[in-house]
Structure 1
């Protein structure tokens, strides 16, 4: 058996894979240690909290990374723990010789890339060009994208059903090789054991686990890739991995990420790889003896708390772990969590983002842009300074419910029928309720990610009735917009012809990729409770005209009026309801 300290480079041309969508990072050498985006930090550093409560000497975890190729899309899952000085050792197994060589060139930069005073230079790093498994001999398939290579044959008939999966899983080289059992390597791993085990080997995860049953007796947390469909021939699926780990006393904790691809021929033009519905693989996290923690030593409880807090932000489970460690410490942790301030303007200044996981990154970017664009507005400071209680009282932002199938069969002169799609993904709503204009209308709009379907072009009676000479009809928007011959003051509030022309100009200038965007939008505003019943009655007619959906959600002293549907439909619906709002207000409710 070759000692770990002198593992030969270049012993194999195989590669242990990871997610098909990613590419190896850090191709420029040592810069690769920090090339990928860093994980967001927790609410507070657990080390600082424990130190304040008298727990000064913290145990360090032993990390084993099976399939250690670094990827551009995110830093390695163990990096937050290592960067904050909580790792005794990191041993990675990456049988692709050139990738393993590159990882070893990054050791100095990994050690240096730590937080001030964290003591990251004491962590021992080793990256070894071996493939782990159950000790069996087999054929390693190196694929067109190295991160999809596996000991298993890619299931091409299935993969070619999905966008850009066959292309990255085509086998380009086959190598006979013998896998190594993690149990056989324990005596040579620093600390002779494993606390945190990460596995990403493209369908071969169960074989790695079966070769590590002795090591798993001490493992605290497992982070493993799992598949829901047989992306590789005869591979174990999530149910098989889950059954095996539960048999060893592990409890499923959470999915960290879910991944998929759109089935051909459909895909989203903005992001062709974003799944429309089918989920294919995920990263799953398991914790040993989570409910009772009876076999855990004091040091193991602290290690477990550090892993779950620093990497996964699993504050409720960390509370459970610390209560097992010491009841008083658990109470202090609970108090700290309840009083924690989030990053940004503060813990009780919230932006609610509702929608499918795949849209989260785009939603966050959009939200940041909105905040930057809005921070100078008069209402923004008022929003940012609200307490959590005020926010909940003012906004009451519910998650939009799944839409029912609605087919409008009416044949209005102004529009055709526009069906609503069943189970449409909820739109992402950024609730920056500024309440400008004195009427509580300040809901901001964010597009949904991944909604399907093409939408018709909605019109509104308000536009048609503003045209000179066509008061008696509801002509199409196409026949009315651009004329600029609106009666002065028709739009309400004294905005007059200039504002009406502005609306028409915006619509005329709208490119086709906006007018034909298939996604759903949400807009909301607050209306007085005294007006809600009358507005609900009038909303029925507006929904029929615009093929949008209007719902009312009651709060303490007002109602939220929520508009859902295609962009122009929602805007038209909002304008029509604001006209009715002002008419009711003018008539004294």
Structure 2
């Protein structure tokens, strides 16, 4: 739930802003996976959502449900695999389809943990066509992405590498699944993703972490009751008001969009800091003067 965006929208500050969200690995497992339930629907009708999943049936089902609901924003789910290259790759389809990956599951390692083999072990393989996000957006005339979410089971860094132009020019925030051990053979790990994104001037804001106990241990540790840290979600945002960025890059319209994205993501303190920065540095323009809103919060 956001705490600033509704007031900003009601007062007309967002009338000329359009927000674009891309979700790579967009299979919806529950209502919590729907972006409107996560707060993004507040930007409607100035909202476009593009979901990608290699499973055509999953995309067709998502599109049919959206049509039935009569949504007031643009959202489409596209049956494409995104990676770091254009061509064909092998998709390793696992016992639980949500765990399928472009990397083969590391079954010997998975067998050491409770509850993982029955989900992540291999079922079958199939060849799929892959493309890169930069190419897709170029062909579809998608010039900006504000929020990028990636959850593709070990192949997440490859998706980032295929979006290098967008990362350098437009993307404001990223939520990405990361692994801390090789659940899939030869997959990149969190350290690789972190170094890559820091080199693109993204700052790590938070981690949601997931643990698994060893399969054959019935007794939990007092100090480490959850077992071993294996994967999680990492949240990265631009820090546009830091000295990493030039004055040209510190566009007030982009900073306002970043504040809105941070607010929807739950980083309220950062959203407030950005609104204060805009008021102090661009407040002579009424479009970036938020004193009344700030005073309601502090």
Shorter-chain TM band: 0.7 to 0.9
**Aligned match for 2:179, one of 217, 220, 227:** 227
Distance 1:151 1:191, change over 3 A: closer
Distance 1:64 1:190, change over 3 A: farther
TM-score by length of 1: 0.45
Distance 1:258 1:170, change over 3 A: same
- Which residue of structure 1 lines up, in the alignment, with residue 47 of structure 2? 88
SS of the equivalent of 2:254 reads helix
**Aligned match for 2:206, one of 254, 260, 278:** 254
- Which residue of structure 1 lines up, in the alignment, with residue 65 of structure 2? 106
Task: Output the CA distance in 2 between the equivalents of 1:152 and 1:56.
Answer: 41
SS of the equivalent of 1:319 reads helix
Distance 1:78 1:111, change over 3 A: same
- Which residue of structure 2 lines up, in the alignment, with residue 355 of structure 1? none
Could you tell me how far 1:137 is from its partner in structure 2?
Answer: 3.5
Task: Output the CA distance in 1 between the equivalents of 2:190 and 2:35.
Answer: 20
SS of the equivalent of 1:192 reads coil
- Which residue of structure 2 lines up, in the alignment, with residue 130 of structure 1? 80
Could you tell me how far 1:51 is from its partner in structure 2?
Answer: 4.0
Checking the alignment, whether the CA contact within 8 Å between 2:110 and 2:116 is kept in structure 1 is: yes
- Establish whether residue 322 from structure 1 lines up as the match of residue 275 from structure 2: yes
Higher RCO (Cα < 8 Å, 6 or more apart): 2
| Structure 1, gaps ≥5 residues long | 1-40, 113-120, 339-589
Distance 1:203 1:73, change over 3 A: farther
Single out whichever of 284-293 and 158-167 deviates more from structure 2.
284-293
Could you tell me how far 1:313 is from its partner in structure 2?
Answer: 1.9
Checking the alignment, whether the CA contact within 8 Å between 2:19 and 2:43 is kept in structure 1 is: no
Pairs within 5 Å for 1:60-459: 60-72=18-30, 74-76=32-34, 79-86=37-44, 87-109=46-68, 111-112=70-71, 121=72, 123-135=73-85, 137-189=88-140, 191-216=142-167, 217-255=169-207, 257-266=208-217, 276-292=226-242, 294=246, 295-310=249-264, 312-327=265-280, 329=289, 331-338=291-298
Distance 1:67 1:219, change over 3 A: same
Task: Output the CA distance in 1 between the equivalents of 2:135 and 2:141.
Answer: 14
Distance 1:194 1:49, change over 3 A: closer
Checking the alignment, whether the CA contact within 8 Å between 1:220 and 1:304 is kept in structure 2 is: yes
Checking the alignment, whether the CA contact within 8 Å between 1:62 and 1:190 is kept in structure 2 is: no
Pairs within 5 Å for 1:36-75: 41-42=1-2, 44-49=3-8, 51-52=10-11, 55=13, 57-72=15-30, 74-75=32-33
Distance 1:317 1:58, change over 3 A: farther
Could you tell me how far 1:320 is from its partner in structure 2?
Answer: 2.1
Could you tell me how far 1:232 is from its partner in structure 2?
Answer: 0.6
Could you tell me how far 1:277 is from its partner in structure 2?
Answer: 3.2
Checking the alignment, whether the CA contact within 8 Å between 1:65 and 1:92 is kept in structure 2 is: yes
Say how many residue pairs are matched. Answer: 281
SS of the equivalent of 2:102 reads coil
Could you tell me how far 1:171 is from its partner in structure 2?
Answer: 1.1
Checking the alignment, whether the CA contact within 8 Å between 2:176 and 2:235 is kept in structure 1 is: yes
| Structure 2, gaps ≥5 residues long | 284-288
Task: Output the CA distance in 2 between the equivalents of 1:250 and 1:110.
Answer: 36
Checking the alignment, whether the CA contact within 8 Å between 1:319 and 1:333 is kept in structure 2 is: no
Task: Output the CA distance in 1 between the equivalents of 2:199 and 2:157.
Answer: 13
Decide which structure has greater strand share. Answer: 2
Could you tell me how far 1:322 is from its partner in structure 2?
Answer: 1.4
